A and B are shown apart, each in its own frame.
Chain A
Amino acid sequence: MTEVLLSARNLSVRFGGVLAVNGVSFDVKRGEVFTLIGPNGAGKTTVFNLISRIYTPTTGEIEFEGRKLSALAPHEVAKLGIARTFQNIELFEHATVLQNLLIGRHTHRETGLWSDIFFTPRARRAEVAAREKVEQVIDLLDLQHHRESLVAGLPYGVRKVVELARALCTEPKLLLLDEPSSGLNVEETDDMVFWVRDIQQELGVTVLMVEHDMSLVSKVSDRVLAMNQGETIALGTPREVQADAGVIEAYLGSVDDVSGLRRAA
């Protein structure tokens, strides 16, 4: 529980004149749910994109199980056991749910181009094995009804779950969830709470999450990191962070700002 799985040291990234992330450091311990919160533009998603190597940090370093991520190409990150979802859902629209989930098994593929082309008995066995793994995830997330549906025809809430399922199919050690509850209704958000807990407790997957819904955050998170304008402002349990003066100021403004707005009675 105390072993560090992912550690970010002094992370900064600059886009032209904008310092999107500025000197952020944090450790994610194995087995915990770690949440990034902060107002819009705080740099939360940028941190995610740094971890999945879509961006390269200007300074600083991220280590996963002691390996430096900056030495890897973007597609190699998945092989280490880091899977992610996207804020605006990036599914393979014109494929079925089943195909989407099977693509999630890509890092575990055992066959090469030639055995695929001739569909050798080995390729056939690998295919059935992949399907069995995928079915476990389908069972976990109750996606049985949607197996054969095209993603393009699914409602938003289901897509969100499919994307989570696809990430789980990679059998990750670390799961990055970018706003898992955005666009979901109250019921679906409650389901998400259960699933995040299940993923953490039953599958033993470490979760790093960006989330705005504070009720979800406080229900599932072990620790919370609050960011504002690219900088860390608080780190601790959900309760501690919610009570932090700096966090309240970042979201609501300071008492002075507010009192200035008060109408003279």
Chain B
Amino acid sequence: MRFIFKTDYVQDIRLAKHGGHHFWYSALLIAMLAAPWIVSEYWLAQLTFILIYSIVGLGLMLLAGFTGLFSIGHAAFLGVGAYTQAVLTNYGMPFPLALIVAGALSAAVGMVVGLPALRVKGIYLGIATLSFGFIVEEVFARWESVTGGNAGIHIKSPNMFGWTLDSGEEFYFLCLVLTVVATLLILNLLRSPTGRAFVAIRDSEVSAQSMGIHLARYKTMSFAISAALAGIGGALYAHKLQFISPDQFDILQSIDLLLMVVIGGLGSVHGAFLGAIFLISMPQVIALSKDHLPTVVAQAPGLQGLVYGVVLIAFVLFEPLGLYGRWLKVRTYLQTFPFYRRGTFKRQKAFQRSDRLR
């Protein structure tokens, strides 16, 4: 058990609260920096995808996990970012500029989609964002002069100031830098009044309003930031795949993204990363285990969908706090061994909630 002696309020504001944080996050960063020399090219590509999905996951976590607004059309923002990046890069715009435009355009679209969020809640917002996702996918398919329609569109390697990042390693480092920056910005947001306003809206709108929080403004803001991160993730996604088509941004992609934050653990920044690791490694695990399964099962179509479904149901039933929640329990168990009690993380149900029907 670690005891922290606090002598200054600044200690509570710091991102790294104690030596353990410094040590483990430095170790993680060094491992990530060394990865290109350690793992094979294939696994480095998977690692790159994890980073890209983490950026998108951070955005969705902010929206769903911290503001309590569920979006079932998040692939649309991913797509807006990806197509913007593809079109602008092919026009010869340098990478950083194109990335900023891709993020900004996604944010603008996010603000528009956020408008129904000011009126509808819960499942109804889910339906609104879902239909938005279909509309955007349709636009990608039909607006052929720009998007290339269903035939898709190729995208050149990222290029900035005469330097072309065409190797897997270079692109990996680019994604790593952007992921670290995005994480730090989100952590900053969450330790400041804006982030707390989001949490307030998630937990009680009536109360947030009576504390002087402008609901419409903060909900729109949350949608915009979330969409911007999805757009940036989408731009990197487009570069990584070098080819995009509308069917990559369909409802299945949206559900994957939502699955990612739910399984990772709603309401925790770690959850976005754990969810991304889960989402990328799961198909690999399934593929690897196919060799050891009876042929009837291994060759069955829809095996992956089945496994995902079962895992999601299992998480909702047994571990609503997701992978991060499970990790917290394991850590607490080890720290307090042998005094851990099963009920430690049980929360009293809040009855009498004014907006429980949302």
Contact = CB atoms under 8 A, between A and B. Distances in A.
A105 B188 CA distance: 18
A124 interface: yes
Interface in A84-140: 84, 86, 88-95, 98-99, 102-107, 109, 111, 113, 116-119, 123-124, 126-128, 130-132, 135
Given A105-B193, A128-B13, A91 B210 contact: no
A76 interface: yes
Given A54-B206, A106-B212, A95 B199 contact: yes
A99 B196 contact: yes
B72 interface: no
Interface footprint category on B: 35 or more
B191 A119 contact: yes
Chain A binding surface SS class: helix
B40 interface: no
A95 B347 contact: no
Interface stretch (B84-92, B243-251, B348-356): B348-356
Contacts of A95: 196, 199-200, 203
B141 interface: no
A116 B212 contact: no
A88 B347 contact: no
A132 B9 contact: yes
B12 interface: yes
Contacts of B202: 92, 94
B194 A152 contact: no
Residue with the highest number of chain A CB atoms closer than 10 Å, among B189, B195, B350, B352: B350
Interface of A: 52, 54, 73-79, 83-84, 86, 88-95, 98-99, 102-107, 109, 111, 113, 116-119, 123-124, 126-128, 130-132, 135, 150, 152-153, 166, 170
Interface of B: 9-10, 12-13, 185, 188-189, 191-197, 199-200, 202-204, 206-215, 221, 267, 347-348, 350, 352-354
14 contacts: A54-B206, A78-B210, A92-B199, A92-B203, A92-B208, A94-B202, A94-B267, A103-B211, A106-B212, A109-B193, A124-B10, A127-B13, A127-B191, A153-B348
